[in-house]
Copies of this chain bind each other. A is one copy, B any other.
């Protein structure tokens, strides 16, 4: 069953965190890397498996790869609403969302460069 594939795929912390963020906006790998503080490889791999499950789509823009939730997935209204609830209930998802907001703020006030946080850290 396709529906089971959806469930199985998002029932993993990393993937759920990714989907959770993508509910807000399309994002590229390096943004996700900075927000989630996970290694690029894992993000790429997990995004890829989300893509194989038709949960996300992607588009290339120069070197960047932007990922977004698929229409097909978004049709599952109740499941989507369930995830929105988890974002309020689950600590990890809440914190990710905070990080996302910080990230968006920085993006707004300056010319965005992908590794901005990493540069500040050095």
Q: Which of A1-18 contact B (CB under 8 A)?
A: 1, 3-4, 7-8, 10-13, 16
Encoded as 1 (CB less than 8 Å from any B CB) or 0, chain A from 88 to 117 comes to 011010000000000000000000000000
Tallying the copies of this chain within the complex gives 2
Q: How distant is A15 from chain B, measured CB to nearest CB, in Å?
A: 10
Please report the total number of A residues contacting B with Cβ < 8 Å.
Answer: 20
Report which of B7, B13, B16, B90 forms a contact with A11, defined as CB distance below 8 A.
Answer: B7
Report which of B1, B13, B76 forms a contact with A92, defined as CB distance below 8 A.
Answer: B1
Residue of B nearest to A4 (CB): B11
Q: How distant is A83 from chain B, measured CB to nearest CB, in Å?
A: 9
Q: How distant is A14 from chain B, measured CB to nearest CB, in Å?
A: 10
Complex-state Cα separation, A65 to B89, whole angstroms = 33
Residues of B within 8 A of A12 (CB): 4, 8
